[in-house]
Amino acid sequence: MIERARSPADIVVTGLGVVSPIGIGRAAFTEGLFAGHNGGGPVDFWDTRDWRSRICCRVRDFAPERWLDPKAVRRMDRTGHFGVAAAHLALEDAGLAPERMARERVAVVTGTCAPMEWVWTAHEACFTRGPRFVPPTTVLSTFPDAASARIAMQFGFQGPAPTLSTACASGADALGHALLLLRAGMCDVALAGGVEAPIVPSAMIAFGQARALSERNDDPLGASRPFALGRDGFVMGEGAGLLVLERRADAEARGARIDAVLSGYGATTDAWHMTAPEPEGRQRERALVEAVRMAGLSADDIDFVEAHGTGTPQNDENETRVLRRFLGARASVVPVPALKSMVGHGLGAAAGLAACATVVSLAEQRLHPTLNLDEPDPECDLDHVPGRSRPAALRRGLVCAFGFGGKNAALVFER
């Protein structure tokens, strides 16, 4: 085991902003996480009679007016609403007031796939009511970088504000990019993570036609079942998970609470297939190796892994093989919980939420459960913390994020 000395240059987490199907804000998310709340439910806000999958993990009781004025609410889609809300929550949790910050030194780095709600709304307006009913703001809101732009404008942050769009690895790549920006001295504070609102007819139907979604429509609470026998796809989720990152010296100088250190990031590409993982998962494994190497650690130093764990047959078996090789002799004893069993798969938001869960686990010294694992797949035989949370001595956690197109990313967080 390697014990790393603390450094003033460490990139630390000082705030979390969470908008999720199991809780909005750090306190509610933490409660839902360890209580094993289930965000599943029916898609009861569209006509779904012809859909293959009619279930989702939706952020319920979300009111964007809490963080935005009415004009801003109208000009943004749900992805933007989530992003701004999570940014407010993260800054508040970090004890940072935007008006007192050096705004030119604050970066905003978001991961997202696409602003799907706005695309659907414009399409529906055009073909049901006519072209003149398409909102003029549509062209500005259908770029993937709209969320980071909206967050930056909301607070006047004028540092780098890129968007990483690497499918389901987007949130992890956003956090990794923020880590590199801070280490390069290009900013002093970064708001980074994932945001997505994909529960719209076009996305739900398309993913359903691709047979990626679970069709357990009569059992929405039991449908998201990573690593379980009989799993049949993921349940679409949504939300946002943003972290406030800064250098340890700066955080300590202002008396901030430090939740964790983001010490490692690795990213690779399979270059194999648009949907299927490369059978041996060699590039997935290399992303994990690169992440622990950047952290100055080895696989032996990892105490738990936040699984990608989608609940699709191919991914879960492939991820198990990768983790068995990566962890070696310790594979049977290292816990590997799967957050998507509670919040579904939020696409670009997924790794941001997983990072928040990892930081909370380190802070609380507790592992969250994997739900719906009453009958594990014999091919997925790791310790997935089935059923209920449990206390654990946790120093270092690894986040796995694997996306369509063979995009792989991993993050190391330390207590």
Which residues are known catalytic residues?
168, 308, 345
Q: List, in sequence order, every residue forming a beta bridge with 218; answer none if it has no partner.
A: none
Please check whether residue 12 is in contact with residue 247, taking contact to mean a CB–CB distance below 8 angstroms: yes
Contacts of 44 (CB under 8 A, 6+ apart): none
Distance from C-alpha of 21 to C-alpha of 44, rounded to nearest angstrom: 15
Token pair belonging to 273: 């297939």
Torsional class of 152: left (φ above 0), alpha (ψ -120 to 50), beta (otherwise)? alpha
Torsional class of 177: left (φ above 0), alpha (ψ -120 to 50), beta (otherwise)? alpha
Distance from C-alpha of 231 to C-alpha of 222, rounded to nearest angstrom: 10
Token pair belonging to 251: 């955080």
Distance from C-alpha of 15 to C-alpha of 157, rounded to nearest angstrom: 17
Query: Measuring CA to CA, which residue among 121, 46, 107 is closest to residue 79?
Result: 121
Distance from C-alpha of 251 to C-alpha of 247, rounded to nearest angstrom: 6
